[in-house]
Chains A and B, each alone.
Chain A
């Protein structure tokens, strides 16, 4: 398990980098964040200004090193400060409310997109020159479209013109959140369009990569041997071809996750989906720096954990990886 251990060490470094960047940015950036924040409050006495500054962490005590240790302590206790736009709610409370929405939506949609895209890529390579193969460039072109633009089009078509699906918010108003059927069904119908957006924009990439690797794989001799043995076409395609061609796709999954998540975050704004992306937008429009930083940290950790899972899947799928160096 040297492979997993090395990857684990790498992710520890990555998390350390994310936390450290988050610690450094407010301290090295020019600009006066404090004025932007305090401008939200009217008629403050100097004492109140001072106490607010301390509460928002603008005048940290001690040397930079002791601040850094303090910061780590806060992060480990999920103490990410107080939101300035939704004062006095804690950043961790806000993220705790919104993160499940994003995790459920982006997680399910990304995995679906990966699975369907990979499978379609296998078929496109197998039936090279078939209609699926020829449709591939068109699908990859969707990658060049911003997620939120496609989201706008889908809303216009399915929600406004056809009125098939709802849009905006994560569930219909007036429902109690919890484990009851009206809420769950409403949440599912509200998530169809956002999920469709993620799948449509990211599926082309998985498909193209799978197809390209698969094309190289099926020209190998052992595929010919498998055919000559008289194995069924499906078996040759899946267990001989796809099984060996899928490795770069799994490796790519870990690497492109950050990009997919970024697109999904912006997409949430269009849908006013109650997830982290929409919260990030609100934080930006109201100059809520503690919230922005908290969101960056939480998203980084989520993406890094998912990448680690993808790496473990890679180690399971590729015996060579377990003995090879990790970088």
Chain B
């Protein structure tokens, strides 16, 4: 491009103005896609997740007992009116431990989700948009992180860290957990970067960060959300597993701690099922809500996956996928 063809000031503004509006409206459109027509699975998942977040906020205030309370008894107490979910062998109220432990578990999960998602968006879009050697290098790094077994590595790293709080744990979990999201986002960026609207933005002379922020990211908001939810699930399951292994900050309750004490107190052999079933179910339902949200997001982006009972039962007949296209009788008989 020669100097003579550079747009004058007025031309520049007249070209830039629509893109600003387009960029902002792209974000609004992509957010609007989530309103109103969220699949039922995602709605159920969101409601359950909201409940957990509520408990995480108010849990410590509504817990009926001090979770660390100990009595002289040596046997765990089965669920009764005083202890709705029973007690541990030392007399700690399981319900209170769960209510208080929710905060650490949920906070750790969300914190890791945020940090890891930021990392994967940065690496994924950079690799996909820049291409060339930057792409090769970043992809190599994320693939190495992907195949490396995270849990034993976490054990080694966190084993060396002295008093492991939530933030260091979240950071280590994020550093080991961003790779999957980065891979998915890179693939999507690659497929988007040569679309017409991105090429147009580049022709207009938009800066790369602006193209990434206003052209590429709004079009992958679903993917980013799914990768966030997946990372939160990974963080929760991994942190519970780590606590179960005994790598945890015992001054702060979380679900894994309760299970750790149940295991080391031989709850299974004692038949004290309430000691491990309730915290385990708490983890499982929290994980379930995240899986449901991801199912919903999947269906949102891929209509083929939507459950199709109506499609299957057409005219009171079961249709196999490869059967001939069903013809609706009413239409054929000419009711129109």
A-to-B contact residues, CB < 8 Å: 10-11, 13-14, 17-18, 21-22, 25-26, 29-33, 125-129, 137, 140-141, 143-149, 152-153, 155-156, 160, 212, 215-216, 218-219, 223-224, 227, 233, 236, 254-255, 257-259, 261-263, 265-266, 269-270, 280-281, 284-285, 287, 289, 292-293, 295-296, 299-300, 303-304, 307, 327
B-to-A contact residues, CB < 8 Å: 41, 136, 139-140, 143-144, 146-153, 155-157, 159-162, 180, 233-234, 237-238, 240-241, 244-247, 259, 262-263, 268-269, 271, 273, 276-277, 280, 283-284, 286-288, 290-292, 295, 298, 302, 304-305, 307-309, 311-313, 318, 320-322
* Minimum CB–CB distance for B245 against chain A, Å: 6
User: Closest B-chain residue to A33, C-beta based?
Assistant: B160
Taking A262-B152, A284-B245 as known contacts, 5 extra A-B pairs with beta carbons closer than 8 A to each other, sorted by chain A number, are A13-B144, A141-B287, A147-B241, A149-B280, A255-B146
State the majority secondary structure of interface residues on A: helix
The residues of A that contact B244 with a CB separation of less than 8 Å are 146, 148, 266, 269
- C-alpha spacing A285/B244, complex, angstroms: 11
Q: Can you show 12 pairs from A to B with CB atoms below 8 A apart?
A: A21-B153, A22-B156, A29-B161, A31-B162, A126-B321, A137-B41, A145-B284, A146-B259, A152-B262, A152-B268, A262-B238, A280-B155
Complex contact B245–A128 (CB within 8 A) = no
Complex contact B153–A296 (CB within 8 A) = yes
Complex contact A29–B160 (CB within 8 A) = yes
* Minimum CB–CB distance for B293 against chain A, Å: 11
The residues of A that contact B136 with a CB separation of less than 8 Å are 327
Complex contact A148–B259 (CB within 8 A) = yes
User: Closest B-chain residue to A308, C-beta based?
Assistant: B147
The residues of A that contact B305 with a CB separation of less than 8 Å are 212, 215
Complex contact B321–A218 (CB within 8 A) = yes
Complex contact B139–A17 (CB within 8 A) = no
Complex contact B259–A149 (CB within 8 A) = yes
- C-alpha spacing A215/B320, complex, angstroms: 11
Complex contact A145–B160 (CB within 8 A) = no
The winner among A254, A263, A284, A287 for most chain B CB atoms within 10 A is A284
User: Closest B-chain residue to A292, C-beta based?
Assistant: B156
**With A17-B148, A265-B152 in contact, do A223 and B322 touch (Cβ < 8 Å)?**
yes
Complex contact B152–A300 (CB within 8 A) = yes
